[in-house]
Amino acid sequence: MSDWLRFKTEINLTQYAAFMGYEIVKKGTTRASIKMRRGDDIVIISKRGNKWIYFAVSGDNDNGTIVNFIQNRTGQILAEIAKDLLAWLGEEFSRPEPKHYSPEVIEQKYDPQRVRAIFKGCAHVKTHQYLACRGITSASLSSTRFTGRIYTDRYHNAVFPHYNDNGVCGLELKNSEMAIFVRGSEKTFWRSNCKNGDNTLIIGEAVIDALSHSILFPDENAIYAASGGGMSPDQRNLLKDLVTSCHHLKNIVIITDNDNGGDCLHDVILSVLNDCVYQGDIKRHSPDIKGQDWNDVLKGKILFP
């Protein structure tokens, strides 16, 4: 085995990232996808086959293996990277404590049959206890915009399906204690229903924020979409295809959170849109208060109308 292949397969990238000062972000981290942050730099680390891979939330071209990760952050040439990683394999560097990284990361394996089998056991919702606690009303859930786009499973989780050209490909589960994707999921986008006359796309990170925005700022001509976390390179291509294919779009509203993560996601979405043949208006609409998302705003209005 070549040294380069050893670097990409034997070095736990979450451990090396922790060594470089990155910290795990619990919100958005699963057993197969580790979200880490150093300052404004947010990365998603996973495994494909035996190789550790990553992508940066804020950069279209910032992705790949540990070699790309180091090169994009240090500017080192390949010979310098090889020297450091050989020293790492030889344990010449002190290791971060296990609590600062993820010792075990499950390989991402897409299993559409498993996802579809689980989805068959899910039911449409008109009311949902967890969503009601977040201010999402039964009127919203049963509206023509969202009916059939929100489900519940046998454990009473809220279920948000993601679709590709072959149908349901991913299931995002949410309750008061967790937010995860079903193992085997392919993450694309959660989307509301579309209607004739729709001319606005409202896009953010979380489904609950999209639902909250629809309650706070009703728009009969708006389609809603949520990325379910940081956008992967595949999702960026999907967004580009979506915008290019929607010829009647006149407005795109980016509703990311008012925080560093929201800033980064906004920048990614904006860079994708700037690469599209789209001539309409683009604006950002985030909460006024730093650190808030649109569900925070909705709950605040319910508690303090």
Q: What is the pLDDT of residue 1?
A: 62
Question: Could you tell me the pTM of the whole model?
Answer: 0.78
Q: What is the pLDDT of residue 76?
A: 93
Is 3-100 a domain of CATH 2.60.40? no
The secondary structure element, H or E, covering residue 207 is helix 207-216
Nearest to 208 by CA among 252, 254, 159: 159
Class of domain 112-303: alpha beta
| Region at 90 (left for phi over 0; alpha for psi -120 to 50; beta for the rest) | alpha
Q: Is 82 helix (H, G, I), strand (E, B) or coil?
A: helix
Helix axes 78-89, 66-74, angle to 10 degrees: 120
Q: Which amino acid is at 3?
A: D
CA dist 275 to 25, 153, 179, 268, 290, Å? 30, 38, 31, 11, 29
DSSP, res 100: G
Are 221 and 149 a contacting pair, CB within 8 Å? no
Q: What is the pLDDT of residue 60?
A: 64
Residue written as token pair 């920048």: 267
Q: What share of the chain is helix, strand, coil (3-state, %, to 5)?
A: 35, 20, 45
Write out the residue limits of the CATH 3.90.580 domain(s) in the chain: 3-100
Segments of the chain with pLDDT less than 70 = 1, 59-60, 305
| Region at 213 (left for phi over 0; alpha for psi -120 to 50; beta for the rest) | alpha
Write out the residue limits of the CATH 3.40.1360.10 domain(s) in the chain: 112-303
Nearest to 65 by CA among 122, 142, 13: 13
Q: What is the pLDDT of residue 59?
A: 67
Q: Is 68 helix (H, G, I), strand (E, B) or coil?
A: helix
